[in-house]
């Protein structure tokens, strides 16, 4: 019998958000990214583009600041526009996507970073 693996669905991680979709914002995903729905993102300070959160980076993306609602794949030098949760929401931490290999303290710091944007990880 065939085995099927179902990927993440857009907004699957979202428990609640502010009225009128105020929690959402349009963001630009930077180059060379493979973003899935629920991916924790950090913003590169120099360009303002959003990329996969990386706690050991030194370009701004080391601070978690948004969660992708939809997936996006960008090539070298390409960007994409998607919607993301950028403020005032509650999310299920067990359905978020993190960079592979993060430690428990790094994941805990993500919750702290997102709380600064009033995004509460449950």
Q: What angle do CA 45, 36, 72 make, to 5 degrees?
A: 65
Burial of 86 (0-12, 13-18, 19+ CB in 10 A): buried
- Give pLDDT, residue 40: 98
pLDDT in 10s for each residue of the chain, 122 residues: 888 887 778 899 999 999 998 999 999 999 999 999 999 999 999 999 999 999 999 999 999 999 999 999 999 999 999 999 999 999 999 999 999 999 999 999 999 999 999 999 99
- Domain formed by 14-121, architecture: Beta Barrel (2.40)
**For the chain, what are the domain ranges?**
14-121
């Amino acid at each position: 019998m065939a085995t099927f693996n179902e990927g993440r669905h857009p907004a699957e991680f979202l428990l609640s958000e502010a009225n009128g979709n105020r929690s959402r914002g349009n963001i630009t995903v930077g180059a060379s990214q493979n973003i899935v729905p629920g991916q924790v993102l950090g913003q590169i300070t120099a360009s303002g583009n959003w990329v996969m959160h990386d706690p050991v980076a030194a370009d701004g993306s080391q601070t978690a600041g948004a969660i992708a609602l939809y997936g996006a794949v960008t090539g070298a030098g390409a960007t994409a526009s998607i919607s993301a949760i950028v403020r005032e929401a509650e999310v299920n931490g067990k359905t978020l996507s993190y960079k592979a290999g993060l430690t428990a303290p790094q994941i805990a710091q993500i919750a702290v970073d997102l709380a600064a944007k009033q995004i509460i990880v449950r």
